[in-house]
Amino acid sequence: MLRTVGRPLAGLVLWSLCGGLAPADKPNPPSSNPPPAKHALRYRFRPGETLKWQMEQRLDVQTTISGNTLTTEAFTGQVKAWRIKEVAADGSATLENFVEEVDMRQKLTGRAEVRYNSKTDSKPPLGFENVAQSIGVPLSRVTVDAQGKVVKRERLLGNRLHSQLTLLLPDRPVAVGETWTVPGESAVPTADKTIKRIKTLQTCTLLDVAEGVATIRVATQVLTPIRDPAVEIQTVNLEAAGTVRFDIAAGRILAQRMDADKTVFGFSGAASSYHYREQLTEKLLGAGEKTAQADKKPADSADQAADAPRPLPGNAQSAKRLEAIVPEPKRPGGTRR
């Protein structure tokens, strides 16, 4: 009898310890956390308005060949402007971009510093004549849509057209933490006089939205494998990272900072090296308190990563490439514009 009853009792004890029969499945209670807010980031323009940014670009390049080192230090400050000519019903705008004033300084190892300030110098130094001629003159007429895509471009001065004028915004509303990407391509000349197409990918992340200002992390990487260091030193200005502050209601960039810091070895013999540092900063003029608040935000890792600079070059080509960048710098924002 004890054996016959013992097993059911043991089973009853086990059944009790386990809490009895499993209840029927119940639906999960609804989450009390609301979905994250999404933000539509779009450029907004008004016909007849003129937008101006104070831009500063700092360059430090050290080129070493056979034990000899050449250092290039350069600074370019400029007030760049967009004059909005017309705005279409879909939000796209046709604008003319120009440089209102410029202050340039360049120093090479063993040479006196060269300076040019368009406000105070009546005559530019040798090599900066084209810069002086471009001050206050429309450089190009461009149509951009509300996302920042260039849909039409007309050259008005010079022979250079840059592919990127604005930071490309996402094609959908995004929440903090979301990312969007922008593929790109650059043409680089090689030693055998051919052109190598370099593919890039710009990754943008919405880091924060506070008081109507979106903080966007921007980083660009080169995707195309480059095995020739002589080609690689021409792409150092393609890789940069930093942050952009965007006024959501006004639909414009308030401020940005981009940095690049890269070293290339072996471009001219085994002992050669090319260390490139550049920093680009921009601030919207006349934006008032919002711009000041954006500047007060704590720097993210990109700001702290390098007290350094972003894309320019630095050996014998330095003066030429510096002069070429002034009238209409490349990429913001992550971009010079």
Query: How far apart are the C-alpha atoms of 208 and 177, rounded to whole Å?
Result: 8
Looking at residue 192, what is its pLDDT? 87
Domain membership flag for residue 30: no
Q: The domain spanning residue 136 has which CATH number?
A: 2.30.230
Looking at residue 213, what is its pLDDT? 97
Give Cα separations from 95 to 55, 165, 224 (angstroms): 19, 11, 33
Domain membership flag for residue 226: yes
Query: How far apart are the C-alpha atoms of 219 and 258, rounded to whole Å?
Result: 9
Domain membership flag for residue 287: yes
Looking at residue 241, what is its pLDDT? 96
Average pLDDT across each block of 10 residues of the chain; the chain has 337 residues. List them in order: 41 39 57 85 95 96 94 95 95 94 94 94 89 91 95 79 73 97 92 92 97 97 94 92 97 96 94 95 80 49 33 36 34 43
Yes or no: say if 139 and 157 are a contact pair by the CB < 8 Å rule. Answer: yes
Rounded to two decimals, the pTM is 0.76
Domain membership flag for residue 228: yes
Give one DSSP letter per residue of 61-82, joined into a string: EEEEETTEEEEEEEEEEEEEEE
Number of domains in the chain: 1
**Structural domain span for residue 104:** 38-335
Ranges of beta strands (E only) in the chain are 38-39, 50-65, 68-87, 93-108, 114-117, 140-144, 150-155, 174-175, 179-189, 195-210, 213-222, 241-247, 252-265, 273-284
* SS3 (DSSP) at 18: coil
Domain membership flag for residue 4: no
Domain membership flag for residue 12: no
Looking at residue 321, what is its pLDDT? 36
Domain membership flag for residue 11: no
Domain membership flag for residue 14: no
Looking at residue 289, what is its pLDDT? 53
